[in-house]
């Protein structure tokens, strides 16, 4: 895939002039003499800590590797991406997603969204209520009076059937039954993750239903390109390919209109540090407790596969870069506003406030109640398809 030369040129120039945090030393996992854990894995995670059962279903530990040595580790509990090891400009590998050292921590409230699939509906639905035709549906409310990320027991809190297709691809599937969290219809869902030899993590979501329903799926990893426990993300450089964003009220529910990013802290059309405007006195930053907003992705440039460029992130010292492509109309940028030192991550290391960011490709929040937003309605006979690619590069 190729991004426009202009975007790369601008990003490279900014990397050169921005000062950075101290170099994060690459962690070398301690040798594990247990036969259950292969010696060639980059991850420091112990696979035995992710084996067990939840509500009678077996939980497993799955590893993807490409020919370049990149490694992605998953569990079928919530389709979580447990670790993602990518190289820096010196060729040193580090884990760039936040998470925990054992399955139990992911089942607790503070770990419920880390690295997980989000569904049936990512983001918020106001008051947990929407209508399809003459039928009104009441969803579980788990974010004040609103419905967030699929409800109390969303897709992130269930065990999925797993099929590891190859060393580089895995597929998760399940049927979300009619009435689950209040949603209508039996929804059959499949999600494929492929770690390509072009250093891409490709995600393909598909779903069908036997009754009209709403669907909006996404992936919820917290990234830190300097390394998962390397401090704040303030100096990560971010470009979001969006001329507009969606303003929200104090409950993070959209007003139903789009606003231009120009002359606001939400203008990431040219790359800038994530923390540059984060502390400005702007009502939208107050409402979101920082950045927690959907950006409306511009249609160009596109990848060779026809996906729109949504965002580029670069961490200057390590040289790691991440590009995000999608066929979705929006991308949610979350600046880790509720991460804190109380969270003890992998290798028993505490995280910090704003120690990770999320870039979640998706439809718009509260779309079922916003007639001007793209529809998220799925009818019988139709197939929901959503594509997201995270591509990893190195900038010397």
184 burial via Cβ count (<10 Å: 0-12, 13-18, 19+): middle
Q: Which CA distances in Å does 20 have to 97, 243, 296?
A: 20, 28, 29
Catalytic residue at 315? no
Q: Which are the contacts of 283, defined by CB distance < 8 A and separation ≥ 6?
A: none
Number of domains within the chain:
1
Torsional sign, CA 362, 389, 2, 230 = positive
Instruction: Render each residue's pLDDT in the chain as its tens digit; 396 residues.
Output: 344 434 544 454 444 333 333 333 333 333 333 334 444 899 999 999 999 999 999 999 999 999 999 999 999 999 999 999 999 999 999 999 999 999 999 999 999 999 999 999 999 999 999 999 999 999 999 999 999 999 999 999 999 999 999 999 999 999 999 999 999 999 999 999 999 999 999 999 999 999 999 999 999 999 999 999 899 999 999 999 999 999 999 999 999 999 999 999 999 999 999 999 999 999 999 999 999 999 999 999 999 899 999 999 999 999 999 999 999 999 999 999 999 988 899 988 899 999 999 999 999 999 999 999 999 999 999 999 999 999 999 988
201 burial via Cβ count (<10 Å: 0-12, 13-18, 19+): buried
Q: Which CA distances in Å does 244 have to 16, 61, 135, 313?
A: 28, 40, 33, 19
Domain span at 122: 5-394
Question: The domain that contains 329 carries what CATH number?
Answer: 2.70.98.10
Choose the catalytic residue: 24, 149, 219, 220.
220
Catalytic residue at 293? no
Choose the catalytic residue: 181, 315, 328, 360.
360
Q: How many whole angstroms separate alpha carbon 229 and alpha carbon 226?
A: 8
Q: How many whole angstroms separate alpha carbon 215 and alpha carbon 366?
A: 11
* Model pTM score: 0.91
């Amino acid at each position: 895939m190729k991004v426009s030369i202009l975007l790369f040129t601008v990003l490279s120039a900014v990397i050169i002039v921005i000062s950075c945090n101290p170099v994060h030393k690459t962690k070398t996992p301690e040798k594990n003499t247990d036969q259950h854990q292969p010696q060639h894995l980059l991850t420091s995670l112990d696979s035995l800590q992710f084996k067990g059962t939840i509500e009678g279903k077996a939980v497993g530990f799955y590893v993807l590797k490409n020919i370049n040595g990149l490694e992605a580790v998953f569990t079928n509990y919530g389709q979580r991406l447990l670790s993602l090891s990518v190289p820096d400009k010196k060729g040193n590998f580090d884990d760039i997603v936040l998470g925990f050292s054992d399955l139990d921590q992911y089942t607790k409230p503070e770990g419920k969204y880390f690295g997980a699939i989000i569904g049936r509906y990512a983001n918020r639905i106001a008051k947990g209520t929407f209508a399809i035709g003459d039928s009104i549906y009441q969803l579980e409310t788990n974010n004040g009076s609103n419905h967030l990320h699929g409800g109390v027991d969303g897709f992130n809190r269930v065990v999925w059937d797993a099929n590891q297709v190859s060393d580089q691809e895995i597929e998760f599937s399940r049927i979300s039954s009619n009435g689950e969290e209040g949603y209508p219809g039996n929804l059959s869902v499949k999600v494929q993750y492929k770690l390509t030899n072009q250093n891409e993590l490709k995600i393909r979501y598909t779903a069908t239903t036997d009754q009209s329903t709403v669907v909006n799926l996404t992936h919820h990893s917290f990234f830190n390109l300097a390394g998962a426990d390397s401090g704040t993300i303030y100096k990560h450089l971010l470009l979001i390919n969006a001329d507009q964003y969606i303003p929200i009220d104090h409950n993070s529910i959209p007003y139903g209109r789009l606003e231009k990013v120009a002359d606001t802290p939400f203008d990431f059309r040219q790359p800038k540090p994530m923390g540059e405007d984060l502390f400005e006195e702007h009502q939208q930053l107050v409402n979101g407790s920082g950045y927690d907003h959907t950006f409306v992705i511009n249609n160009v440039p596109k990848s060779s596969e026809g996906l729109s460029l949504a965002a580029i992130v670069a961490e200057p010292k390590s040289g790691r870069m991440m590009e995000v492509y999608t066929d979705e109309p929006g991308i949610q940028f979350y600046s880790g506003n509720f991460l804190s030192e109380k969270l003890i991550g992998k290798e028993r290391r505490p995280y910090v406030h704003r120690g990770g960011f999320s870039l979640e490709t998706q439809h718009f929040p509260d779309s079922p109640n916003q007639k001007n937003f793209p529809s998220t309605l799925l009818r019988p006979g139709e197939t929901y398809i959503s594509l997201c690619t995270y591509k990893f590069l190195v900038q010397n």
